[in-house]
Amino acid sequence: MMATNMISNPDKIREIIDKCDTCYVGMVDERGNPYVLPFNFGYQDGSIYLHMAPQGKKIGVLKNNPHVCVAFSTDHELFNRHAHVACSYGMKYRSVLAYGKAEFIEDYDEKVRIMNVTMRKYTGKDFSYNAPAIHNVCVCHIHIEKIEGKLSGYF
């Protein structure tokens, strides 16, 4: 069995999140069924930011029930103790789970700020946007209520 460690240090949690280019947002639909989607994201000061087209299943799901669980994972590395023994194989990883509530942002300037948190993550730059682009994008602020990190195989 590979040793695992839980992480609560915010800097270490941030390091893991910053290495990820995708997060997986777990939602609960109107029937109580799970709905999980991959998203690009921004992360700053204990908040996760998502942006999305203003239509599609996810919009109705999140408006009906804003509770989400967001998963991040990185540094995946297959290892084995004995190449010929299946149960000696495992995966090293670093991962984070964030639980919180999604709020749709309507304020124009706040949407621009959030889009730049996301764009900075992927490009290292701020951008200016034309008004229709901002009006036509849905922006979600996920207020994190609980966050946990986990290492497996790393120390």
Q: Which residues of this protein are in contact with ligand FAD, per CB under 6 A?
A: 22, 37-40, 51-53, 56-58
Closer by beta carbon to ligand FAD, 31 or else 82? 31
We find the least distance from the C-beta atom of residue 48 to ligand FAD, in angstroms, to be 11
We find the least distance from the C-beta atom of residue 124 to ligand FAD, in angstroms, to be 18
We find the least distance from the C-beta atom of residue 88 to ligand FAD, in angstroms, to be 32
Closer by beta carbon to ligand FAD, 10 or else 56? 56
Q: Could you tell me where the DSSP H helices lie in 20-107?
A: 57-64
Helix, strand or coil, per DSSP, at residue 15: helix
User: Closest residue to ligand FAD, Cβ-based?
Assistant: 56
Closer by beta carbon to ligand FAD, 111 or else 151? 111
We find the least distance from the C-beta atom of residue 38 to ligand FAD, in angstroms, to be 4
Helix, strand or coil, per DSSP, at residue 42: strand
d(CA 120, CA 46): 16
Neighbouring C-beta atoms of residue 59, cutoff 10 Å: 15
d(CA 100, CA 43): 13
Pairing of strands 34-39, 67-80: unpaired
Identify the bridge partners of residue 148 per DSSP, sorted by sequence position. 97
Closer by beta carbon to ligand FAD, 42 or else 100? 42
